Chains A and B, each alone.
Chain A
Amino acid sequence: MTTADHTLADVSIDGPIATLTLRRAEQRNALSLELLDALHAGVGDVARTGGVRALVVTGEGKAFSAGMDLKQVLLEDGSDRELPRKLLGSLGELTLRLRSLPMVVIASVNGAAVGGGCGMVCVADIAISHAGATLGFPEVDLGLCPAVITPWVVRKLGAGRARAALLKGGVMSASEAHAIGLIDHLADDRAHLDVLTREIAERVAQGTSAALASTKGLLNTLDAPIDARLLERGADLSAERLVSDEAQARLRARRR
């Protein structure tokens, strides 16, 4: 295990409510290997803290998360060709760890949630956002395949709506996301998101630990067959697309 950089993501605990904040605001909380390490460490901290019944996941700054850090997966002379697969594998493991937590996971989507970032929204038990946020899966626009997060998108939206969202690419407004069930609660604006998030987290935390853990445990049994192996296959598939010449050419064009 690498030592996690706690300046990239940190956990605060307030009684039964924990908050995990992505703090890579200047890069729109893009998921670099280092940020993913910090998120793994944060989830581990929360799992080890007794009495937490709700975990809020949110982002600092304008974005919730822009998804994969495309700078890290752009292959150039001398770059680590294994990095894309490592990054995708780490994201897959993180989604499974978040889902397996016994407490209720609440995504408070403060701004853009794109690709892998939107996948994390789908993994959460409850997703809250505001009218100014955007969400979606633009992977296909770059010749990529969002294979790691696809199982969670199907779970959240159902197969029919998941196909449409994943295959059409682009992003949608949080209002559209609310209409298709990707977002469970919609605040009017950014300022009200925190109030609404707090209200919901406090209400959820009123549940007894036994009632919440048994309910979540049962819901997680319904997730089968999403498991580590399936997510690894997703990471293989996604990495294969990512290192392809076509995808790399599009990534380079976008960088200019």
Chain B
Amino acid sequence: MSVRIQDTDGVRTITLDRPEKRNALTDRMLDAAATAIETVGDAGCILLLGAGRVFSAGFDLKAADERTAPGVLQAQILSLSRVLEAIGDCAVPVVVGAQRAAIAGASAIISAADLVVADRAAVIGYPVTRLGISPAVSGPTLERAALGAARALLLDPRTVTAQRAHELGLVHELVDAPDGVGTAAGALAASIASKPGGGVRATKAWVRTVSGAIDHAAAREASLASIDSETIERLRSEVWSR
């Protein structure tokens, strides 16, 4: 399954565990993460980490080929959308610890998270329009987190450092060493889980109410609509031939 789930001291830790593929996200991994978030139960906080050197390189585009690509991409987009929705609907905060890189689908997860810890030099962004894939699925959550900068992040296929993402409001806590991200994010999750009474749950629910509903359906439809014959051509020259 490539996703590990562990409940310890009120924190549910979800670990993307496919380090040999830079935690490239398959639809099944995203579904497993979504289910773990949707069934949080009595835990006081969710902690989402990536095993190994990098948090995640985004969608596993090599899981697809010429024949299967449209279907595989559609499944990944739908499962990612489910994760983003689950994070917003989750009764408790979701903390993400992202070391070294959170690309495209992984940036989308950061945009939806309540709290993000990253190392200063970590790269975050959506370099996917040049692959013929729209990152619109992340649009509503990214706009909430980074406001007007969402356009420059989604329409320009580049990455920014976590330092800049912190200035934009997308990352909330910076650490110097990439290998310190997991510990710092773990401490933050433990601190949230240990808070008394129902304050944290009530506050998360109220912030969601005040912020208004997010139209995830429109966002994922826009991403799905971008997949065309040019997408397959770009994947052939940029991904599958390498």
Contacts and interface: CB of A to CB of B under 8 A. Distances in A.
Given A215-B134, A219-B139, A207 B147 contact: no
A116 B168 CA distance: 24
Contacts of A211: 128-134, 226, 231
Interface stretch (A14-22, A85-93, A152-160): A152-160
Interface residues on B, range: 35 or more
A126 B129 contact: no
Contacts of A208: 129-130, 132, 226, 228, 230-231, 234
A125 interface: yes
Interface stretch (A41-49, A198-206, A236-244, A248-256): A198-206
Contact of A204 (B149, B157, B227): B157
Interface string B211-242: 00001001100110111101100100000000
The majority secondary structure among interface residues of chain B is: helix
B182 interface: no
B53 interface: no
B20 interface: no
B228 A210 contact: yes
B151 interface: yes
Contacts of B168: 181
B155 A214 contact: no
Interface residues of A, number: 31
Interface in A119-176: 122, 125-127, 155-158
B225 A210 contact: yes
B167 A179 contact: yes
Interface string A197-231: 00010011011111110111111011000000000
Given A181-B148, A208-B129, A211-B128, A200 B156 contact: yes
Interface of A: 104, 122, 125-127, 155-158, 179, 181, 184-185, 200, 203-204, 206-212, 214-219, 221-222
Interface of B: 128-136, 139-140, 143, 146-152, 154-158, 167-168, 215, 218-219, 222-223, 225-228, 230-231, 234
Given A104-B156, A157-B148, A158-B148, 14 more contacts: A126-B152, A126-B155, A157-B147, A204-B157, A207-B130, A210-B226, A210-B228, A211-B129, A211-B134, A215-B129, A215-B139, A216-B155, A219-B136, A219-B151
15 contacts: A104-B155, A125-B152, A155-B147, A157-B148, A181-B146, A181-B148, A203-B157, A204-B157, A207-B130, A211-B128, A211-B130, A211-B231, A215-B139, A221-B215, A222-B139
